[in-house]
Chains A and B, each alone.
Chain A
Amino acid sequence: MSVPVSWYLMLAAAMFAIGTAGALTRRNGITIFLSIELMLNSVNLTLISYSRLLDDRTGQVIVLFVLAVAAAEAAVGLALFIALYRHRRTIDVDRVNLMRW
């Protein structure tokens, strides 16, 4: 008896919602980044679920690419935070609003 794929999709939707709420409410740059990783991860789970449901391996290959893009994004983003911290001594996004308005 296999678990229906819709349960996995439901779990992925819940994790995506948690990540969205985190990315929009937190003010620490690192935590916002962690929330974005959470959202990427739930999308990966969705891709793998559909790959299982449709019996098609394309979803797994795309997850591989998403992993690589997430690694690149983390590297560049964290380097940005280091540069930002060097200038402003904070990574609180409420106090880094030069380009927001």
Chain B
Amino acid sequence: MELAIFLIFSALAVVSALVVVTHRDPVKSTLSLVVTLFSTGVLFLLLGAPFVGVLQVLVYTGAIVVLFLFVVMLLNLQREARSEGGGRLQRVFAIAGALAFLATSGVAIWRSAAGTAVGALQQDFVSLTAFATELFDRFLLPFEIIGLLLLVAVIAAYVLARRPEGSVAAAIDEHHAGSGAGGSEVTR
């Protein structure tokens, strides 16, 4: 049973990951990432980390991917243009490098595979109480710092993405607002 679930969801993860990096339409790439992240979440459940698995689905596919989709729609991106030469060498080397990495780590994992058999999941390993104790006891300070980091990131995102005062775009908007046909007053 566990083997069947593993095989189905790992195949799903690899195939959708390939779609993410090969599809030319950014919207479909992003939606394919949802499938990858969800499959990985299921594998987290299999590995005895139900809380992290649920969090993966909630945070990653629920929040981060929606953010991606929102930006893709906002920027109204077209399909990526074909590479006009020049990038071919880079493409070959990138794929060769990725395959070299896969081969190296594959050999390393293969050689140490004998020691990786695990028994059945224990009740207290899966327990949420033990996880929470670990998180809020040993890792309390990192947890607080992560909260601070998220706050900084939100402020940074706001500062970067807001329309600056007196920018060209704002000036164009002002112009359009000013030259509109007499009666229609455009206010912002």
Which A residues have a C-beta under 8 Å from some C-beta of B?
A: 1-11, 13-22, 24-28, 30-31, 33-35, 37-38, 41-42, 44-45, 48-49, 51-53, 55, 57-58, 60-61, 63-65, 67-76, 78-83, 85-86, 91-92, 94
| Interface class of chain B by DSSP | helix
Bound form: Cα–Cα A90–B20 in Å: 20
Bound form: Cα–Cα A94–B18 in Å: 22
B20 touches A2 (CB 8 A): no
Bound form: Cα–Cα A31–B28 in Å: 10
What is the distance, in angstroms, from A80's C-beta to the closest C-beta of chain B? Answer: 6
Supposing A24-B94, A34-B33, A76-B157 touch, asked if A17 and B101 sit within 8 A by C-beta, the answer is yes
Which B residues have a C-beta under 8 Å from some C-beta of A?
A: 2-3, 6, 10, 13-14, 17-18, 20-22, 26, 29-30, 33, 36-37, 40, 43-44, 46-49, 51-52, 55-56, 59-60, 63-64, 67-68, 71-72, 74-75, 77, 80-81, 83, 87, 90-91, 93-95, 97-99, 101-102, 105-106, 109-110, 112-113, 116-122, 125, 130-131, 134-135, 138-139, 142-143, 146, 149-150, 152-154, 156-158, 160-161, 163, 167, 169
B160 touches A31 (CB 8 A): no
Q: Which of A10, A18, A49, A81 contacts B17 (CB 8 A)?
A: A18
